[in-house]
Every structure is written in structure tokens, then in C-alpha cells.
Structure 1
Amino acid sequence: MNYEEIVCDANNLYRAYKTSVKSSKWKETTQKFMMNFLRYIFEIQDDIINRTLKNGLTQEFTLHERGRVRPITSIQIRDRIVRHVLCDDILLPEVKKHIIYDNCASIKGRGISQQRKRFEIHLHKYYKLHENDGWILFGDFSKFYDNIIHEIAKQELLKLFDDDEFIDWLLTLIFDGFKVDVSYMSDEEYENCYSDLFNKLEYRHIPSEKLTGEKWMAKSVNIGDQGLIHM
């Protein structure tokens, strides 16, 4: 099967549908989708085959989690299904070949327990060599997802798939759904927007009347409650 056949396969779309509704069955929109899920799955299949697939509307809200404020953009179930089948059946199996073994984030079969075990192994190895003479560095990438440049991310992924035309088309469509309306920026700000630090949380406070759709920035990826990058 080629990549398009994998994404269009009804069994794969059905599995992606089950994953997409798993944590939101209490929502009215999810329940309405579930009542006619077969029809919607075949509509998605037709849209992919005919290249008529489009990004749906999004809903934005703010989540307070473990003392942190996170801006969330929720996407429609149709879009979740497409992204799940792309990530689960195509991207993730290939990306896993290129990441370090100790990366346990969002990888089935690993998780926090596996990460703790690996951490203990590294501590024991270090202690045998240096005993208590050492330190641990904690680090974090500030606004990492907010500042992912779409074209760079897409090209890095395409390298893993020999620049496949179908993967290129689907990734372009998905990344286009992440584009940010930056009409409020001056010409100078817009010229430097790809190198300047972007803060999605602060962006939420921009008055809607200033977002006229005149300028768009192809930077920032929303991992929200579905993640493309839930990989």
C-alpha cells in the first residue's frame, strides 16, 4: 500500500475515529458525529481521494493546568481523524526510527514509568563512575510549539518519505490550518516575525477587529487536545 492508500483505508480511518472520540463522548458535537460516523468516514475518504479535503472551523479556549496557562485550539472530529491516521499509521512509525531510545514522551508502551526506569539506570551508571560528584541540568524550550516554522517542519518530515507528493499535500493542508493572522503587525514587525519570539497566550489578547486576514504567519503549531504532532 502507498501512503495515500494507508490514509484512505476504511479500517485505519475507523481506528482513528475511535481514538478521536475516546475522551470526548460526553460532548454534544461528538455524540452527533457518532450517530452517523460511517457516513462521515466515507466522506473523509472521498475528500482525500479527490483532494477536496479542507480544514474545519476551530474553537479556542484557555486551560489552567498544573499552575500553567495553556491556550488551546480545539479542532473538529473530522480533522482529528485525518491527523490521527496520518500520525499513527505513517509519521510515527517512521519518526520513531530516528529518535533516541530515552525519549518516552507520547510514545505507546513507554510513558512516565519507562522514563523513571531509564532515569534510575543513568543515575546508577553515573554514581559508579563519579559517586556524588555531579549535578543535573533541567532545561526547557521556551514557547517551542509557538515558534515552529511550518515550512522547516514540513521539509524535515518530507525527508523521511522521499518528498512523497501525497504526504506533501496533506502536511501542507494541515500546516495551513495552523497559520496565524498577524494583520495587527506593522510592516517592520511582519518582516521580522519569523525570527522574533511569538507568544500564543499573549496573542489571544489581540482585539479581533485588528485581525483582518491581510497578513498571515506560517509559524506556530497547536498541539491542543489532539496534537500533530501528538507524535
Structure 2
Amino acid sequence: MTYEELCSFEVLYKAYLEARKGKRSKSKTIEYEAQALACTEKLSRKLAVCNVRQPDGSIRQQIRYVPSKFEVFAVYEPKRRMVHAPAFVDKVVLHALVDNILYDALTKSFIRDSHASQTGKGTDDGLMRLKTHMVDYYRRESHGADGWVLKGDVRHFFASIDHLKLKRKLKAVLDKRGVDPRVYELLCIYIDVMEDGLPLGYQTSQLFALMFLDEFDHIIKEKYRIKYYGRYMDDFYIICSDKKKLQCILRDVRALMDSYGLELNQKTAIFPLRNGIDFLGFHSYLTDTGAVIQKLRRDSSKRMKNKIRYWETAYPAGEVTKQEILRSFDAWDAHAAHGDTYSLRRKYADRLEKLLDCKIPIHRKINSNKLARDRRRARQCRCIYKKQHKALSLSVSQNTRPAEIMPWA
């Protein structure tokens, strides 16, 4: 897609429809939606390239678009973070960039075990792959539950990403994919909205952060031939039977992170596999029989316990409604159902049943094998759809009957 196509009314209006999902009750969205056609047309003109005369008399095309001010607020779960939320008009531009160009250009080189911010992946997929890695290690490595884990985490990851290094990596990837250079210029404008690091809350920041450590993923997989490796943004693990090899990898990882301008935090360590791996909100243990037990992290359980204590005083006082309590508990229960947490969830549900005087069902344990099969079938369906769509497009362009290209049509 060229830069002119990206800035067209049709593409931006489609991006606006995506950006407003789940946000139609917010004031800024309502303001834009009230004059959606005019606002989108105005945005298209703002993004247009201008001819600027240089000091030597030559004419150079330049993008003069200036992003609006972002909103800064704090979130406190699972820990305190400052979020920089873009204005709604910038959300429209970011959706147009990511959905039409950036996602496909960047994610093509990502490894299977990079789990964050990608379609068909996420925390559920990361937990499922960790369980698969632990079971596979037990069955194939002939070491049983004996082994070692390198568990790492990057200190202040988003705030520490260097703009120059990021732009250099981004330009190399986009040039390789044949992306219009003016798209890179527009992306640089959004990179520079903060003096240091990347803003949490921008759609592009997630993909930029994943791309920044993509080289690190390939080094672990290809140079060190590590099979049991997974990463979710700045949090990663490596399972290996050789402790000395992990010590060597850790030294090289520290040097590599230093070259990126990053630093591993104090929690980074090598420890026995029997101790379990703390990853994506669960503590996963490999037993002597080869089973994997995934327990909810203690801080997540403690937060829900504290919430229930608050509800037990706030609900009788009318400070919180029954629907708000049920909605909050259901969200936590759906997350906790990925692990072996039935007794804990049932205990909390019983306390709420006494408080609210109603029956509260809890989710069944989510079967990771069934989840994997469902996702595999979904990927297969998407591949079949793409082949059919490509064949139909070819038949229209060549004035050919679909049956001549697709025997199953």
C-alpha cells in the first residue's frame, strides 16, 4: 500500500470504524462520530504530503502532520504503570498504519514463541506453549524433571528503548518489505511523541517493542539452538539440561542487551526446573511423573481476596452494585481457569454467594490441548479462505470460471 492509499478517505474511514469499537460512549469518540465524514476528510488532508522548498532551492516532499496531545493516567494492576493514551484522531491513524501496513511488515519475521500482541497468540497461547515445552522436555530430553531454567526480564523495557536504535531497525525492516519510505517518516513522528522510550497505550508501541527484541529471539533459537524458549514482550524463559550452557547464554544476553541500551533486572536468574517457572501470572511446575501443574500467582490471588473484603463492606453500604461485583469476579475467574485453581475459585465464589445471596457458577478448567486444536483449526480455515479468495480474484481478472481454478468450487 502506498502512502497516498494509506491517507485516502476510504482507508481512514475504515480505520475509524475499528478505532471506535468498545469506545463509543467516550466523549472524544462521540465528538468525532458526530461529524465522522468531515473529520475523516480533514484528517486525510492533514496527512497529505507537502512540497517544501529547501535552502538550496530544491523541492522536497515532507509530512507536516502533528499528533494531538496524549492523555496520561496510571493503572495499578498488576502493578503501577503510567499509560499515555493517544487522542481519538491519532487512534484512527494508528489503526490505519497497523492494520494495513505495519502488522504484516513486522510480524513476518517473528518466531512462533513470541506471544505478545499478535493475532491468535496472547497470554493463553504463552501458557499453553510453556506447558508443551515442559512436557516435551520431560519426554524427549531423558532427564525427567531434572533441568535448569534461565528466567529473564528487561528492566523498564518501554521506557528504555532508544529512539535512534529503534528507527534504524525499523527502517531496515520496512526497506526489506518494500514499504513506502513516507510511511517510515510518519512512524518516526509517532516514535518522537516522547523524548525517551515508547508510550504505553499506543498501538504501534507494542509492535515496535516486539521488533526491537526480534533479533534476540533469533539468536537464542538459531545460534544457541534452544528449543524450549518463550518470550512475552520483555519476559522470557529458557529450559535447558546444561547449567553451564545457560550461564554462557546469560553472559551473552547481558552483553547483547547492553548493546541495545537495555538492562536485565535483578530478578533474572538461573534455577532448577523443579522450582517451577513464574510466567504470565501462573507458576508452572513439572512433576516427577511428567505432569505440569499451573498454580495462580500468589499476588493475583491476594488481590482478589482483598477485593472480596472490600465488597463485603462496600456492597451493604451501596457503594458498589451486584452487577459490578459479578462482572469483576467473572473476569478474574476466566483468567484463573487456565490453571489448576478449582478449589481456590470455588472458595471465593462461595464467599460471594453468601454476600450477594445468589448462585455463582465458575468456569470449567480451560483445556490447553483443546485450545491448541481449536486454534490450529482456525488457522487452517484462514489458509483455505485466503486460497479461495486468491483463486476467485484470479478468476475475475482472467475472466476464468472458478471451477477451472478451484476443483472444489
1:60 pairs with one of 72, 89, 96: 72
Instruction: Give the secondary-structure state (helix, strand or coil) at the position aligned to 1:115.
Output: helix
Give the structure 2 partner of residue 157 of structure 1: 170
Would the aligned equivalents of 1:158 and 1:167 in 2 still touch at CA under 8 Å?
no
Distance across 2 between alignment mates of 1:64 and 1:29: 24
| 1:14 maps onto 2:13 in alignment | yes
Distance across 2 between alignment mates of 1:159 and 1:132: 42
Instruction: Give the secondary-structure state (helix, strand or coil) at the position aligned to 2:206.
Output: coil
Distance across 1 between alignment mates of 2:80 and 2:164: 28
The residue correspondences of 1:208-219 to structure 2 (distance < 5 A) are 219=196
Stretches of structure 2 lacking an aligned partner (at least 5 in a row) = 50-62, 208-409
Distance across 2 between alignment mates of 1:107 and 1:168: 21
> Which letter maps to 2:34?
M
1:125 pairs with one of 112, 124, 136: 136
Would the aligned equivalents of 1:12 and 1:85 in 2 still touch at CA under 8 Å?
yes
Aligned in 2, Cα 1:122/1:6: closer, same or farther, shift over 3 Å? farther
Instruction: Give the secondary-structure state (helix, strand or coil) at the position aligned to 1:228.
Output: helix
Share of identical aligned residues, percent? 26
Give the structure 2 partner of residue 195 of structure 1: none
Give the structure 1 partner of residue 184 of structure 2: 168
1:82 shift after superposition: 1.1
Distance across 2 between alignment mates of 1:11 and 1:127: 53
TM-align CA RMSD: 1.9
Distance across 2 between alignment mates of 1:10 and 1:119: 44
Distance across 2 between alignment mates of 1:99 and 1:57: 32
My pick for the range that moved more, 36-45 or 19-28, is: 19-28
1:148 shift after superposition: 1.0
Distance across 1 between alignment mates of 2:11 and 2:120: 20
| 1:147 maps onto 2:146 in alignment | no
Aligned in 2, Cα 1:178/1:134: closer, same or farther, shift over 3 Å? same
Aligned in 2, Cα 1:223/1:12: closer, same or farther, shift over 3 Å? farther
Give the structure 2 partner of residue 220 of structure 1: 197
Would the aligned equivalents of 1:44 and 1:53 in 2 still touch at CA under 8 Å?
no
Distance across 1 between alignment mates of 2:98 and 2:166: 14
Distance across 1 between alignment mates of 2:41 and 2:136: 53
Stretches of structure 1 lacking an aligned partner (at least 5 in a row) = 180-218
> Which letter maps to 2:67?
N
> Which letter maps to 1:59?
E
Distance across 1 between alignment mates of 2:26 and 2:167: 32
> Which letter maps to 1:52?
R
**How far does the alpha carbon of each residue in 1:48-100 deviate from its partner, in whole angstroms, 9 at most, with x for none?**
1133311112221211112x111111211111111221122211101111111
Distance across 2 between alignment mates of 1:84 and 1:178: 19
| 1:230 maps onto 2:206 in alignment | yes
Give the structure 2 partner of residue 29 of structure 1: 28
**Higher RCO, 1 vs 2 (CA within 8 Å, ≥6 residues apart):** 1
> Which letter maps to 1:87?
V
1:18 shift after superposition: 2.3
How many residue pairs get matched? Answer: 189
My pick for the range that moved more, 57-66 or 141-150, is: 57-66
TM norm structure 2: 0.44
1:115 shift after superposition: 2.1
Instruction: Give the secondary-structure state (helix, strand or coil) at the position aligned to 2:111.
Output: coil
**How far does the alpha carbon of each residue in 1:19-57 deviate from its partner, in whole angstroms, 9 at most, with x for none?**
322232221121111111221112121111133311112
> Which letter maps to 2:197?
S
Would the aligned equivalents of 1:6 and 1:89 in 2 still touch at CA under 8 Å?
no
Distance across 1 between alignment mates of 2:28 and 2:131: 44
